[in-house]
């Protein structure tokens, strides 16, 4: 689940009405000229700031580091107007290698070859621009020591797969090259012919069919580059779901459900994109479920309060199974819903099934 897009296509700029000045404390101010009007933001800013590639500009926009008139810019592909004044915050350069940090970990299993972590919501898996510390990798480097160095690359040692920052649950990390290679092969197969199993619990709006599958390719959104979308240009993505429970709203009518999702592929935001695509976005998903915000008003009051305080999508990586890459023993782990999702589940269940 990678981030970042784009090719470095920055160009020299020779317009006569643009103004560029470096502000103190790593902040850049750019005023666009008449020749810039109607052009893409990332292309214009890269021309005005030759030291920043379009890829770097896109990343800064995605990280909320670009402002127009004091408001954060969210679309690097948006069109500019003459006379726009953009402010770009340039974070301090980050270390080439992540630093070990003494961060508590919830460990489901550990041996000399691998470690299975039950990740809390809010923790980023590996360092990225804007998240150079406090990540799972920083914690693992402290817990495991030098055994992780270099495994899977400098920036993501030992990481075979990842789950979103605001998704909780299980993931496995390799401690050495042989374990990394064995686990990576299983994740590349996605359980089609091997023992890999990944299951997620998701609270969704509406009531889907008892079971089904979504086979729809996923690619970067054409205009909102921080989002993913179902697009024919995308990579194959397959999600299977099974309906577990349904919940009534305060009016007694069906309103929400608990589903189990199993992945046959591993694309960025796959479950969130696919469930929204079939009309059942996740509760708490501010990116893919914005059109369903009004449904929260139909929840029982206690459930509505819990959802408002959740501050994340209601998604949990509840089951992980795989063959041990060294011993070949089959390992399987289950993770209970974290406290905040269990509280939501209890209130929704207490309100009655639809």
Q: Which residues are catalytic, by number? A: 164
Query: Which of 244, 243, 253 is closest to 300 using CA atoms?
Result: 253
d(CA 90, CA 75): 18
Q: Which residues pair with 319 in a beta bridge?
A: 199, 334
The alpha helices in 27-149, defined as continuous H runs, are 41-48, 54-62, 136-144
d(CA 78, CA 44): 10
DSSP 103-123: ----EEEE-SSEEEEEEPTT-
Per DSSP bridges, beta strands 168-174 and 114-119 are: antiparallel
d(CA 84, CA 150): 44
d(CA 242, CA 316): 15
Residue 65 CB partners (closer than 8 Å, separation 6+): 88, 89, 90, 91, 130
Kind and range of the H or E element at 312?
none
d(CA 259, CA 241): 6
d(CA 193, CA 183): 14
């Amino acid at each position: 689940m990678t981030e970042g897009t784009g090719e470095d296509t920055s160009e020299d700029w020779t317009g006569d009405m643009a103004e560029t000045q470096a502000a103190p404390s790593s902040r850049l101010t750019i005023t666009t000229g008449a020749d810039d009007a109607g052009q893409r933001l990332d292309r214009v800013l890269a021309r005005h700031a030759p030291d920043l590639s379009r890829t770097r500009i896109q990343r800064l926009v995605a990280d909320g580091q670009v402002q127009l008139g004091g408001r954060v810019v969210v679309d690097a592909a948006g069109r500019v107007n003459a006379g726009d004044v953009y402010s770009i915050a340039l974070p301090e350069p980050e270390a080439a290698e992540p630093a070990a940090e003494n961060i508590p970990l919830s460990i489901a299993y550990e041996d000399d070859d691998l470690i299975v972590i039950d990740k809390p919501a809010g923790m980023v898996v590996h360092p990225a621009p804007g998240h150079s510390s406090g990540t799972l990798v920083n914690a693992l480097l402290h817990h495991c020591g030098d055994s992780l160095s270099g495994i899977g690359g400098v920036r993501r040692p030992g990481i075979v797969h990842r789950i979103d920052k605001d998704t909780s649950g299980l993931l496995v990390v390799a401690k050495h090259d042989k374990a990394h290679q064995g686990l990576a092969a299983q994740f590349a197969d996605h359980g089609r012919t091997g023992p890999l199993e990944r299951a997620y619990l998701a609270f969704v709006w509406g009531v889907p069919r008892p079971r089904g599958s979504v086979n729809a390719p996923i690619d970067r959104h054409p205009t909102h580059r921080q989002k993913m979308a179902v697009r024919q240009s995308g990579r194959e993505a397959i999600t299977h779901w099974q309906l577990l429970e349904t919940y009534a709203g305060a009016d007694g009518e069906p309103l929400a459900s608990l589903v189990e999702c199993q992945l046959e592929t591993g694309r960025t935001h796959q479950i969130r994109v696919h469930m929204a695509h079939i009309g059942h976005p996740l509760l708490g998903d501010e990116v893919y479920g914005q059109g369903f915000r009004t449904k929260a008003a139909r929840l029982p009051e206690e459930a509505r309060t819990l959802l408002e305080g959740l501050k994340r999508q209601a998604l949990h990586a509840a089951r992980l199974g795989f063959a041990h890459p060294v011993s070949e023993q089959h390992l399987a782990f289950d993770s209970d819903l974290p406290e905040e999702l269990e509280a939501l589940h209890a209130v929704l269940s207490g309100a009655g099934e639809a």
